[in-house]
Structure 1
Amino acid sequence: MSWIAGLDGCLTGWVAALMRLDGAEPPRVRVVETVAEIADAPERPAIVAVDIPIGLPERIEGPGRSPERVLRPLLGARRSSVFSMPARAAVYAPDYRAACREARARSEPPRGITIQGFNILPKVREVDELLRARPELRERIHEVHPEAAFWAMNGEIPLDSRKVEAAGLDQRRALLLASGLPPHLVGAPPPRGAKTDDLLDALAALVVARAIAQERARSFPEPPERDAHGIPVAIWTLDIRRDPA
């Protein structure tokens, strides 16, 4: 196992941070149009950690999927960053009104979908379609959430500052440096098509990818659930029980 990758969505697709576990080559960052481009890249990363909901239940019981229900209360002031995904039928609805209709019909209690949630549905569909078409990728591609990653890096203490604030960006950079990422990577400007917070979130995903590769990660819930297509339903982050540093 040599390369790993962390991905976060950006305006033009995905910002991807790639790193060799043995440090034999320098890390690299680029923007790609699809997750498949990274899965099939020349580096062939063994673990791809991506900030997008993966695994879509046919029905939703309570406030969202089980990973969202379990993780949200742990994040304190940042809990709202973990917003609820609806059932699969709503994700594949043709427009916002139809998505809300499908979401309410397949949830208990009935819940619609936020505009923020609706806006990421194209990327949710992209990854869902990829994992349904190529089951072998399910062991390589894992769902992560940047705020869960930073929470774990911070000793499982919630962050107070928002990532778009200067203090929030500085705190996240400090945590990435403390995790062992090189300063030139953490301090690099974002690539064209991405913002600074997109890059930092991709680097947080990279830290989790490394933990998964080194068997120092945990999932919420634990163990992961599976949806009707056999796709894992879990958010992964660092396990400080195995790596207290």
Structure 2
Amino acid sequence: MDWVAGVDGCPAGWIVALARLDGAAEPRIAVVPTFADVLAAAPSCAAIAVDMPIGLPERIGPGGRGPERALRPLLGARQSSVFAVPSRRAVFEADYRAACAAALATSDPPRMVSKQCYFLFPKIREVDTALRADPTLPARLFESHPEGVFMMLNGGPLAHPKKVKSRPFAEGLAERRALLARAGLPPGLLAAPPPRGAGPDDLLDAFACAVAARRIARGEARRFPDNPERDAHGLPMVIHA
């Protein structure tokens, strides 16, 4: 198990950054359509860090799940990147109106679902279904968050967003590339165009998750919160950065 993987959602499905645990080889990049394909591309990875919620509560309190409440205050102006995930019932509803109704019924105070979060529901369900289908998978698949990783690499909140008005923001991308280069990733690879089906921010987020996966495998990652709760299926609700 000499490899780790960082995974982020992208328009074509998922973008995967496979990296050697010892950094001895240049990371490999792939875009695949399903999360099953992600797992097939990383069959022997010591750790896989994915930018997607793991662990879905039956009810949601103020501020969302424990991971969101723990990480969000540390991100400064980037707090909005950590959105509150609704209950399991809401995530598994078939349409937006039903999801909002379920979220209202299972949150305190009652809260509807943002469209940004709703559009991620299919990917959240893919990850959750994979974890519940394979009892060995939770030992090597972990939730991460790129902005949390960048904050830790920077020693504090970043100065620029990665997007402005839903478009890549050059200053924000450059700031994140510099942090990833300092973490040991090849500058040339960081500056390369993203593969077809992914944006430049998706590529950098996958690399950030690969940095997190490497630190998870070494026992060096920080957890938010440090003592996580588990959902009804035993999945820990914790962001690794």
Equivalent residue number for residue 3 of structure 1: 3
- The 2-side partners of 1:186 and 1:209 are apart by 17
- Report Cα offsets for 1:114-143 as digits up to 9, x if no partner: 010101000001101110111210011111
* Letter of the 1:90 counterpart: A
TM-score relative to the length of structure 1: 0.93
Structure 2 counterpart SS, 1:108:
coil
- The 2-side partners of 1:224 and 1:136 are apart by 19
Instruction: Report the alpha carbon displacement of residue 40 of structure 1 after superposing the two structures with TM.
Output: 2.7
Aligned counterparts, 1:56-135, within 5 A? 56-135=56-135
- The 1-side partners of 2:22 and 2:239 are apart by 26
- Unaligned 5+ runs, structure 1: 238-245
TM-score relative to the length of structure 2: 0.95
Equivalent residue number for residue 167 of structure 1: 171
Equivalent residue number for residue 166 of structure 2: none
- The 2-side partners of 1:161 and 1:218 are apart by 23
* RMSD, matched Cα: 1.2
Equivalent residue number for residue 225 of structure 2: 221
Structure 2 counterpart SS, 1:181:
coil
* Letter of the 2:67 counterpart: P
- Unaligned 5+ runs, structure 2: 164-168
Match of 1:210 among 214, 220, 232: 214
- The 1-side partners of 2:205 and 2:103 are apart by 28
Structure 2 counterpart SS, 1:199:
helix
- Report Cα offsets for 1:34-82 as digits up to 9, x if no partner: 2232323365212110000110000011121111111111111000110
Aligned counterparts, 1:139-154, within 5 A? 139-154=139-154
Say which is worse superposed, 21-30 or 112-121, in terms of deviation: 21-30
Equivalent residue number for residue 178 of structure 1: 182
Equivalent residue number for residue 235 of structure 2: 231
- The 1-side partners of 2:213 and 2:79 are apart by 22
- The 2-side partners of 1:46 and 1:92 are apart by 29
Aligned residues: 236
- The 1-side partners of 2:23 and 2:108 are apart by 48
- Report Cα offsets for 1:170-209 as digits up to 9, x if no partner: 0000000011111232122101100100000000101100
